[in-house]
Structure 1
Amino acid sequence: MSVSHNLRWYLFKWRASAFILFGLQQQAMTVFEEMLREYPNDPYVLSSLAYLKTQAGDKEGAVAFYKRVVQRSDAPAYSWYNLAYLQEELGQVEDAEFSFRKALKLDEKMDLAWYGLGLTLIQQRRFDEAIKALKKNTQLQPMSPYGWYQLARVYVDRQEPEEAVKIIRHLKEFEPKFAKQLERETGLTA
């Protein structure tokens, strides 16, 4: 990038950031769209547009931009995760599974991607794989109740109440509200 080319990019970025700072997302989106015409494959611009589309409730539009980001060989794990998250929300479960796995291939310690992968596997009724993904999530985030909660639900679905009771007992130690919710939903007590 030449100095003037580089300066122009930063001026675009500054304008868009100022609009975002003042809560003017539509104006920021207009600046990023103008920026995209000059820098059509810029990952920052594509990711920013995807983010703004998500904030505006246009998940399909956001997915389209994230798909452009992940076509790049240097796409970071979090771009794959963001794509997967939106795909899962849109009910594109198999696509979401693929994207979560790509994120994990780039960063195997991304606990949120393990959790998301677990959710997509549950939706596909692939409980053995879901258990592995959720266990990895709980290893990386042992104090987050969400992975534990989903893991207990999978055990109930697999007719393994004793495993679910162990998790309820564990959750009572640090997240009693989640433990009570599981007890109410499953009829199990610990």
Structure 2
Amino acid sequence: MLRAGLLRFVIASKKSFFFHLMKVTIILLILNLPTLADDTQEDLSKINKQAEKLKRKGYYEEAEKLFRILLEKNPQDSQLKLKLAFVLMKQRRFVEAYDMAFPVAKSEPKNSYAFAVLGNILLGAGNFREANVCLINALVLNKKEDLAWAGLGLLDFYENRLQESIQKLSNAVFLEPDEPDYVFSLAQVSARAEKYKEAADYYRQFLEMAPPADLDRRERIKGLMNFLRYIGDKSKLYVISGEKKTVVPIRVIRERPVIQVFIGKNKGPLNFVLDTGSGISVISEQTAERLKIKPIARGGKARGIGGEGKFEIVYGFLPSVTIGQIKIGNVPVYIRKFHAQQEDIDGYIGLAMISKFFTTIDYSSLQFSLVNYDEQQQSISQNSN
């Protein structure tokens, strides 16, 4: 046991040392760059290559410093301006990025990369309509503009056109297979589209291409991969059975709606908060232990509910959740420690569990209603006739 513990410590120490050494190397390189920049065109080319490597690995602040040094030597270089705009966008500095990219697109109306960068900036800032115009224009100019395909794929994702998103992101990966951002986006969209095994494979590919310097993020992705592989073996998630519609009473606790649900074959009702602001549902660690719900995957850290500390991310799987007369089978959940126990809350119902229903919370009558989507569509069709 002592040897195993010591071995784990040595491995962890080596990993920490590796990433620390990488960071120190980048800092030393940047400190030495001003003297390099005074030299030959070959030196500038080396700096540009290093900046591109840093950009691809996600070291955006360091890449920004290099691109700024290059721009000092070549202030009219539009491609450098666009590269700088891109790394500013990745740091969510959208105004600065826009101010850098827009003049280039305006002065070079046939520059497809300029419109691709500008479109992604607008997309990140939430201006979907103008982003779409820029990204489509980039593809009109150059059908092989991978960044434009990626941007349109993300736009489809945000607007819930999942199959179209997967197709466009796949085009981006085909055109630029070494760009880890595209692979990561494909993993996210595939998971949302319930293509869980494909999503796990894309996450694995992403880690092989660009392992995050943040060890905790790396562990989170590994845990998510294992979770996706587990649920990928299930025929289907969120399987609906029982009645087409149901109504259950709610209680309001600290301005949050709480309903009672039943998990699996357990007879006792459990108190769950309706939390449509989150995707996946959550069950408390204490309730999971009581119901003998075992973890199926784990990895990385997240903030605990009701507290300020961080705790390990743990995934679980519920055989079914019954709300009134409706049963929802095969429900993935997070298992988390709850700090505020005085409220007797067992979990939180996320949007994914009830996304196939029309839902209504009526605070005047203190009722929560669920209507199967197909049933509601049929009712609307009959009323229109």
Q: TM-score range by the shorter chain?
A: 0.5 to 0.7
Kept after mapping to 2: 8 A contact 1:49/1:62: yes
Report the Cα distance in structure 1 between the residues aligned to 2:121 and 2:208, rounded to whole angstroms.
Answer: 35
- Is 1:86 matched with 2:189? yes
1:71-119 CA-to-partner distances (Å, cap 9, x unmatched) read: 223221x322211121111111221121121112123443453243132
Kept after mapping to 2: 8 A contact 1:103/1:113: no
The counterpart of 2:228, out of the listed 115, 120, 123, is: 120
Larger CA Rg, structure 1 vs 2: 2
In terms of fraction of residues, the more helix-rich structure is 1
> Deviating runs (4+, > 3 A) in structure 1?
3-7, 13-24, 107-112, 142-146
Kept after mapping to 1: 8 A contact 2:112/2:145: no
Distance verdict in 2 for CA 1:10–1:89, change over 3 Å = closer
Structure 1: gaps of 5 or more residues? 158-167, 183-190
Report the Cα distance in structure 2 between the residues aligned to 1:81 and 1:18, rounded to whole angstroms.
Answer: 18
Query: Corresponding residue for 1:29?
Result: 132
How many residues end up aligned between the 2 structures?
152
SS at match of 2:151: helix
1:34-92 CA-to-partner distances (Å, cap 9, x unmatched) read: 2112222323212211121112221111111111222223221x322211121111111
Structure 2: gaps of 5 or more residues? 1-76, 80-103, 213-217, 235-295, 304-309, 320-334, 348-385
Query: Corresponding residue for 2:7?
Result: none
The counterpart of 2:163, out of the listed 53, 57, 60, is: 60
Distance verdict in 2 for CA 1:69–1:20, change over 3 Å = closer
Query: Corresponding residue for 1:73?
Result: 177
- Give the fraction of aligned pairs with identical amino acids, expressed as a percent: 12
Report the Cα distance in structure 2 between the residues aligned to 1:18 and 1:73, rounded to whole angstroms.
Answer: 22
Alignment root-mean-square deviation, CA:
3.8
- Is 1:42 matched with 2:145? yes
In terms of fraction of residues, the more strand-rich structure is 2
Q: TM-score, normalised by structure 1?
A: 0.60
Q: TM-score, normalised by structure 2?
A: 0.33
